A and B are shown apart, each in its own frame.
Chain A
Amino acid sequence: MSPHVEAVDITREYDSVRALDRVSIAAHLGQVTTVVGVNGSGKTTLLKILAGLDTSTAGRVLIEGSEADPTQLRTHSTMVFQRSVMFGTSVFNNVAYGLKIEGVPSHEISLRAKSALAAVNLEGFERRHARKLSSGEQQRVAMARALALERGVLLVDEPTANLDPANAMIIERAIKDSARSRAVLLSSHNLPQARRLSQHVIHLYRGRVVEEGEPSSFFTNPRDERTKLFIEGELQF
């Protein structure tokens, strides 16, 4: 099966710092691909480039085999950030924002927003002010907002890093369910979560892919020494 979204030899430099160094990864429809790595390894930068929110210094991003520019990437993907940011309005308006921009008819917006909120156990929250919710609930709204768009690629950056187990479980379930119709690229340093959710795991270290594979082999029999140390919790940045 050919990848749905592909990064080919992506390099990103900020002044003299190389955040990504010829990174090539692929994500397939129906799968969760998790990029793991210590803080500062380049996970967020990679996701932002795939989301069309940042540009690479070199390399290409392909959607279904065709090269895509940042504008095309933004219409084909959406991203959930580690720190959930809410528009200062109701939960419904937050979830409906992207749909309104896409010109979706209002009756359909209503249905899709309800369905997205149900996917994160937030039925009945439509009229609540988004910024008055708890951080866990806000992250679930952020997830619903991304799900409602029904884009081909869902990029999720450390979505449960600051959440309690109950909220984290709901987010994880939503990620798993959403992968049925999308290519999901998750960034995480939570290894048990990567193991639970992923069909493919990529280890990014200092801006380079040092190992990748199916969770079974990646976690039980890593080939790269740095991956071994990372799994054992002993890898320093």
Chain B
Amino acid sequence: MHPIIEGIIQAINLILTGDPEVFSIAALSLYVSAVGTLLACAWSIPAAVALALRNFHGKRILKGLFNAFIGIPTVALGLYLYLLLSRAGPLGYFQLLYTPNAIIIGQSALVTPIIVSFATGALESVDPELRTLARTLGASDRQTYNVVIKEAFWGLVLAIMAAFNRAFAELGVAMMLGGNIRGLTRVLTTAISLETARGDIALSIALSFILLGIVMSLSIAINLARKTSQ
């Protein structure tokens, strides 16, 4: 049987039989990527608001830097963070390396430029006259920002979604900071990489379908919610 067909059948089997290992790998993938993305939102959204709505020196350079870092190679980022988190590194004291928290930190750093750049674009695309209007109706600076954020809501959701997808599908950071330890830090991408190296193509394909299925389901759900709200 062709490995792809075998992979599809195996994927269906793994899902229908509720294979505990596959489910725990998928759950850990979802967990680290979701937490990493939300963590990045905590500083990226305020940064995007500042970049889009405030004027300050160096703003254009900062925007350019965030744009440039969108495409940072995950292995390079993984390596730098590895050096930071390893025992001999400046953050070695916290013993984070080869833990899910290390992957979370790495993925949050990875997706920060994506959220900042995409969210800045979404906020900047809101009609600037809306801010003037809010101000003439008595809104404070904070309230005018809220107006803009509300208008750009779906743009911000898409920025977060793109960031989550990037975190969920990346390999370098998860491999270098997590170490692909079975039952502890093995996520879908590292498991696919391992099974491919082992020659178990069918299992790799099965895991990749689960990965794709989750990414596509989330994208479809977000798009449906967006259309329903409009």
Contact = CB atoms under 8 A, between A and B. Distances in A.
A97 B134 contact: yes
B130 A74 contact: no
B129 A101 contact: no
Contacts of A85: 127, 129-130, 132-133
Interface range for B: 10 to 19
Interface of A: 51-53, 74-75, 77-79, 81, 83, 85, 87-88, 97-98, 101-102, 145, 149
A87 B129 contact: no
B143 interface: yes
A78 B137 CA distance: 6
B138 A102 contact: yes
A167 B129 CA distance: 22
Contact of B137 (A83, A88, A98): A98
| 10 closest residue pairs by CB, A with B | A98-B137, A85-B129, A79-B136, A101-B138, A85-B133, A98-B138, A78-B136, A97-B137, A51-B136, A101-B139
B214 interface: no
B151 interface: yes
Contacts of B143: 101
B229 to A, nearest CB: 11
B138 A149 contact: yes
A145 B139 CA distance: 14
B133 A81 contact: yes
Nearest to A145: B137
Interface in B116-136: 127, 129-130, 132-136
Contacts of A51: 136
Contacts of A97: 134, 137
B35 interface: no
Nearest to A102: B138
Contacts of A101: 137-139, 143
A214 to B, nearest CB: 29
Contacts of B127: 85
B200 to A, nearest CB: 51
Contacts of A78: 136-138
Contact of A74 (B129, B135, B147, B150): B135
A155 B50 CA distance: 30
B138 A87 contact: no
Task: Determine which residue in A77, A81, A85 has the highest number of CB atoms from chain B within 10 A of its CB, and name it.
Answer: A85
A77 B135 CA distance: 11
Contact of B147 (A79, A87, A149): A87
Given A78-B137, A85-B129, 5 more contacts: A75-B138, A88-B151, A97-B137, A98-B138, A149-B138
A88 B135 CA distance: 16
